[in-house]
Every structure is written in structure tokens, then in C-alpha cells.
A and B are shown apart, each in its own frame.
Chain A
Amino acid sequence: MAQTFIEILRRALDEEMARDAAVYLLGEDVAEGGAFGVTKGLAAKHGATRVKNTPISEAAITGMATGAALCGLKPILEIMFIDFATLALDCLVNQAAKYRYMSGGQLAVPMVVRTQSGAAGGAAAQHSQSLESWFIHVPGLVVVAPSSPMEAYGLLKSAIRLGDPVLFIEHKRLYAMKEDFVDSAELPTIGKARVAREGSDVTIIAYSAMVRTALEAAETLAGRGISAEVIDLRTLLPLDMATISASVSKTHRAIVAHEAVMSGGVGAEIAARIADELFDELDAPVKRVGCPFVPIPFAPELEKALLPNALSIVQAAQELVR
């Protein structure tokens, strides 16, 4: 039976808590399910000690999760909206990412910070951002952005077992997405991308909710005689250049599509790496698809108009494959 992203994510949390007694959940309202109900029922099942509600103190709770991780726990912290990660940035950037390094390998921070990002349904400028590129700039962090319920299931489990601080970015537009739950013994490797659709004329590199959009675009393009390959990055840091390279060496054209604004974005990084490492393979410049450089407006009609969609990707592909 098909289950939603939220249900499948909850299942991953539930199973990891059952599997490993060191896994603890904390965050604002998590004992009641958190802002989107992801952790609903877990307190009743695993006990209030293991699913802790915290005060609205992002600096302290991120610091506490880090401190607990130093001492053998595997905390999973929920930051309600990635927009609020600004208040946790000091800990993530200056401490969690650096403890292992600064201590010469004595310390480890096996922590997952779950958060959600992206625009949906008129949450306006402070509850809709895509801020992932801030974090890919920080050595020591891992950034994961799953594209579907089953992807989230495997990636969350791998993240929990990784042993390094992971920012796990869910997309609110995906929360209602349904998929059949498929049991598989194999978990994805953090740092490995996946080819979501094979093609030969152009590579569309995407992550998070934009993978679905890219697949839609690829379908449209197929109808117009353009064969698009879609790469789901899964992990933004570390970046899987090997998968990108294999694909671009085949298609000779690349588009990076994300919901975040383009300036200083993940797409800028990937375009630079492709230009640097695969210049001779390219038949056309690398294209980026992203949001215009403004905050996300409230009016849902405007929000929808600004967000990159399948058509934006189709147009970019058609410009490249002329």
C-alpha cells in the first residue's frame, strides 16, 4: 500500500530507534509529532526519554545534540524550518563540523539534523527558503536532500549510521507524496548519486523536490525527440562528481536544476566543477535553472510563478540541444 513521505520517514526513525538504543529524538514539539507530524507516535512507542520536546532554543538544542553526540548518543534533532537554522548555524558551522578535526580525530559528532525547506502553499519569505548551499561550504558537514519517500527512508537510515554531522533536508512539497514501501536490505551510500532516468542528449542534475520536476521535464522532452538523463544527487556534500562525470561524458550537455536562487548555489558549484573537470566533453555551456533572486513572495500565485517548473527545465534543455 502506498504511504506518504511522512509515514515512510517515520518508519525509518522508528526502525532506527528500535535497532540502536543510542538514537534519541529531540526538537520543538517532537513528542507530539513536530510541525509536520513526522515523529507522531514515536514518544508513545519508545518512551518520553527518547523523544524529547525542547524549548524554542535552536542554539542550545543544536549545541546539546552536538554535546550528546560527543558522548555516545546518536541524536536526531528536528529544526522545524531550515529558515530557523540561522539560529543553529554557530553550532553547526563552528563546532559540530569541526570537533573531529580540531581534536585530531579524538571526537566524533554522529548527529542528524532533520529540517525541511522549500516553498509550498504561501508560507512566505521566512518559511520557504532553500538554504542548502550555505552548508555545502563547510568542511566536516554532510548535506543530504532526498527526492522521494523511499529515497528518504534509505538516506535517513544511512545518515543515522554515518558517524558525522548530517543536515538532512526534507522538502515540504514532498511530504504528501506517496510511494509503495519496498523492503530492501541495501541502504544507499551517503555521497553516491543515482541516475533516476537514463538518456543520451542532455544531463539534468537535480535533488530534492526538483528531481520529480526534472523527470516530468524529461518526459516532455522525450516527446520532442530529446533524450534527457536525470541525476538525483541525493547528497549535496560530499558531491558525487563521478556520476556527474560519467553522465556528462555521455550527453555532453548539462543542466543543474534547483529551487534555490542561482547565485552562490549548488548549481554554481556543479557548473564550476564541470567546467573545470569536463570542459572538453561539453558541447554547450552548463545551464542553471533556479528561482529568481528575490525572497519567496506570500501570494500563492506569485510563489507558483517564481518557482522553477518542468517548463523551465524543458526550455533550458531545448536551448542546449539545438
Chain B
Amino acid sequence: MSVNTPNAERQIWIYTQMLRIRTFEERVKRTFTDHPGVIRGHTHLADGAEASIVGSLSGFKKGDAALATYRCHGYPLVLGSDPKAAMAEIYGRVDGLCKGLGGSMHLTDVAHGFLGTSGIVGAGIPHAAGAAWAAQIRGKEEVVLCFFGDGASKQGAFAETLNIASLWKLPCVFVMENNGYNVVTTSAQEDANAAAGEPLSIKAKAFAMPGVTVDGTDPLAVHAVVSEAVARARAGHGPTLVESKVYRLSAHGNIIAPPGVPLHYPEHEAITVFGNSAEYEAALRGDPVPRFRGILVQNGILTPEHAAKITSEVDAEMQAAVDFALKSPFPTLESALQYNYA
């Protein structure tokens, strides 16, 4: 194992964070059946990407920043946001991270370095570069992590931004979570590199920056790759494009329906659109959360008893988040007219 391998305690921390994201999002998903009507609008889950998220953020330091997309529940939880406030935001309540004005797609927690999200595919990429420009000017070796999907790499903003980031040697790490799908379209159907059988990290070559593809279901592999990219960025050598290959284990998002129609999570598009249950079941067998737990137990880092204790603690934490969010009041009408201007 390389020097980049986290110690045993840190590996348990990584596992715990992965489980926290998974459990939190299971509670989001369950809300549709347990408490119909409580979640309105659009939610997008990151199940299957937990290893990538935690592995990427495991080297995050105070002063660093992260920006992401609408699929954004995981990052703030790892960075220290209170799951109660995150759940309350998803339920549109006054105690939410954004006081109910942002919602599931726009979790923001500035105090913990989570600078926000955009629901416009690809739009957050230049913002991360701008944040990295500010970090470069501060000169404190702080970095910005920019998370986006494989589909986003077809936006003009992606190409424009990677060019400038490389040219200006910005301290930014671009983490593309390649889950193989843009809603119901597969990467091979919409990406020339994917169609040619090339890794998407090859796009980095056009911008004279390193491009690395990593197994995003292995948190230690992601940690190794991203921490190297982060070190490079901190040292002033510029950005890296990391393609982190994951599989999203839920459908793109809950169904979008007019008011009155109960919302729910449909089956994964591999099944509903492509009739490919085999692909989906293989992905389920490779579920990174139980797999990493198995590895830690096998390596003697985690005992089954310890694992069970973590599970029950995380379950309790996320149950408390649901209970809290359900009880939190709706925002007042006056609050809807605030926060528009300074």
C-alpha cells in the first residue's frame, strides 16, 4: 500500500461517512413511502457514489472548498453539516441548511466549506475555478474540489473552464463522477470518447492537465488519486481531472409529477429503459458500502461488533434527522421575500 493509505482509524472514519451518506439517503428515499407528500420537487441520490465522495473529501482541510451538483446530499454530511439541517432543507423546513429556500438540489453550508451547487448541468464548474482563483490569490495552499457528472463534461462551461484552470494553474481538482448515465441516456450514446471506448479522463489531454481514471467504488483508491491531485494543486502545479467510475444504484431521481400525484423512486433506468437487469444486479453485488465494510472486517481493522455499533449509531443519527425535520416548521411567508439582496 502506498504512503497515501489512511491508517486504520481513518479507514473506519471513511467507512462511517460512507454509511452515513447511505443511511441518510435511504431515509430520504423512505420518506416518499413513510411520509407521502413531505418531500416535494426533485431529489437525486448518490447511492453507489459514497466511496467516491468520501475518498475525495478525506483530505479536505479547513479553508478548502467543495462545490457540487444537484446530487449533493453526501458532501456536506462528510464535511460536518448537521444531518438534521440537511434533512430539514430537503423537507423544505425553516431549520434547513438554507432555511427552506434551496431544497434538495441546492444544499449549501458555507461554514463547513460547502459552497453550493447548481441544478444547471455543468454550471458549477466555472464557479469552482473562480473559488480556486480566489484561493490562489489568498496563497494559503487551499484547494477547491469540483464535483460533477459525466454528462456535464459535454457542456461548454466544462471545456472553457478546464482551459483556464490549466492555463492559470488553479488549485482545483475536477472530480467527474462517471455513473454511466445522463438520466436515461448512457455515456456511450452521448460522449464521443465513451463511444470510442476511451476513458473520459482523456479529455484532460486537450487542456494539458493530468487526467486519471479511478475505480470510484473503492474509497482508498479514490483517496490515493484525489489526494495526489490535491497535493499537486496545493503545491501550485495546477488542476487535475479525475474520472471516478461509479454506478448509481437508484434511478436518476424521484419521478417528476404534477401536484396531487404521489412521488416515488422508480426502478433504475438499466431495467426500465434498457431491460438490462443483469447490469443492475451486478452493480448491486458490487455495492461499495457493504464491500468496504467486508474488506475492513477481513483486514482486521473492524470487528463485526464494532461494525454493528457504527450501524446502530448511524441509524439513530438519521432517525433523529427525520424526526427533527418532520417537526421543523415551514418557513414563514416573510422569509420568502428576504435574502434577495444584501
Contacts and interface: CB of A to CB of B under 8 A. Distances in A.
Answer yes or no: do A and B interact: yes
Interface of A: 24, 49, 54-55, 57, 59-73, 75, 90-91, 94-95, 99-108, 139-140, 142, 162-164
Contacts of B124: 95
A102 B137 CA distance: 27
19 contacts: A59-B160, A60-B129, A61-B126, A61-B160, A63-B123, A63-B125, A63-B126, A63-B130, A64-B127, A64-B130, A64-B133, A68-B133, A68-B134, A71-B130, A90-B120, A95-B127, A104-B101, A106-B109, A164-B341
B161 A95 contact: no
A62 B115 CA distance: 17
Interface in B106-154: 106, 108-111, 115-116, 118, 120, 123-135, 137-138
Contacts of A103: 98, 101-102, 106, 108, 110, 116, 339
Contacts, number: 146
A76 to B, nearest CB: 13
Contacts of B137: 24, 49, 73
Contact of A60 (B99, B115, B161): B161
A192 B116 CA distance: 32
B338 A94 contact: no
A94 B70 CA distance: 13
B164 A71 contact: no
B118 A95 contact: yes
Given A49-B137, A101-B101, A107 B106 contact: no
Contact of B134 (A67, A94, A95, A101): A67
B88 to A, nearest CB: 11
B100 interface: yes
Contacts of A104: 96-102, 108, 339
A107 B127 CA distance: 13
Contacts of B328: none
B3 interface: no
A75 B231 CA distance: 27
A221 B299 CA distance: 91
A95 B110 contact: no
Interface residues of B, number: 45
Contacts of B342: 100, 108, 162-164
Contacts of A69: 130
Contact of A102 (B65, B106, B132): B106
A63 B161 contact: yes
A151 B100 CA distance: 40
A70 B181 CA distance: 31
A164 B131 CA distance: 17
B163 interface: yes
A75 B134 CA distance: 10
A65 B65 CA distance: 16
A301 to B, nearest CB: 38
Contact of B115 (A59, A61, A70, A139): A70
A108 B108 CA distance: 12
A104 to B, nearest CB: 4
A66 B129 CA distance: 10
Contacts of B96: 104
B340 interface: yes
A231 B263 CA distance: 52
Contact of A54 (B132, B164, B340): B164
A81 B79 CA distance: 41
B160 A70 contact: no
Contacts of B133: 64, 67-68, 73
A35 to B, nearest CB: 19
A70 B134 CA distance: 9
B300 interface: no
A224 B118 CA distance: 57
B339 A70 contact: no
Contact of B128 (A54, A57, A67): A67
Given A70-B116, A104-B101, A108-B342, A55 B127 contact: no
Contacts of A66: 126-127, 130
B159 to A, nearest CB: 8
By CB atoms of chain A within 10 A, which of B116, B128, B156 has the most?
B116
A60 B126 contact: yes
A189 to B, nearest CB: 13
Contacts of B123: 63, 90-91, 94-95
Contacts of B156: 59
A55 B110 contact: no
Contact of A100 (B97, B129, B340): B340
B157 interface: yes
Interface string B60-101: 000001010000000000000000000000000000111111
A69 to B, nearest CB: 7
B110 A68 contact: no
A63 B116 contact: no
A231 to B, nearest CB: 22
B167 interface: yes
A67 B339 contact: no
A111 to B, nearest CB: 10
Contact of A63 (B106, B157, B340): B157
A107 B108 contact: yes
A107 B126 contact: no
B268 to A, nearest CB: 29
